[in-house]
Amino acid sequence: MTIMVRGDDRTIEQVIKQLNKLIDVIKVTRLDPEHIVTRELALIKVNAPNSKARSDIINYADIFRARVVDVSSESLMIELTGTSDKIDAFISLMKPFVVKEVARTGITALSRGAKSVKIDE
């Protein structure tokens, strides 16, 4: 599980201490923001009542390297992965078409390079 916390060192240390107190927590690792890759996944259902709107939405999805994962007579569902800013920008672009639903995973992250979080088993 990735939990993103913004705050000073004292606040972050307090969060780590509180997480370590939980029974089900095996290990807490603080990732250096300068050496991680972060992504978020979003599913966005957009109103597409006619072929012009459908075509425009598909073109925008291609520009954002998103995929159309479901099609119905009135809507398209788009799957988009990237930074939170990228997802926010795509959702803003879709507002004129009427965004019906949005589901987002939140940020997930891993350290860059060979370093990994090892869990002693």
We report the CATH number of the domain holding residue 102 as 3.30.70.1150
Rounded Cα distance, 49 and 107, in Å: 32
Q: What are phi and psi of 91, to 5 degrees?
A: -60, -40
Number of structural domains found in the chain: 2
How many whole angstroms separate alpha carbon 107 and alpha carbon 88? 13
**26 and 4 fall within a common domain:** yes
State whether 3 and 20 are in the same domain. Answer: yes
Cα–Cα distance, 93 to 9 (Å, whole number) = 37
Which burial class, exposed, middle or buried, applies to 8 when counting CB atoms under 10 A from its CB (0-12, 13-18, 19+)? Answer: exposed
Per-residue pLDDT, 31:
81
In a structure prediction context, what are the per-residue pLDDT tens digits for the chain, which is 121 residues long?
778 788 888 998 898 899 888 888 888 888 888 888 889 999 999 999 999 999 999 999 999 999 999 999 999 999 999 999 999 999 999 999 999 999 999 888 888 888 776 666 5
Quote the domain boundaries for residue 20.
1-30
Contacts of 16 by beta carbon, 8 Å cutoff, 6+ apart: 28, 30
Is the model's pTM score more than 0.85? Answer: no
The pair phi, psi for residue 7, each rounded to 5°, is 165, 180
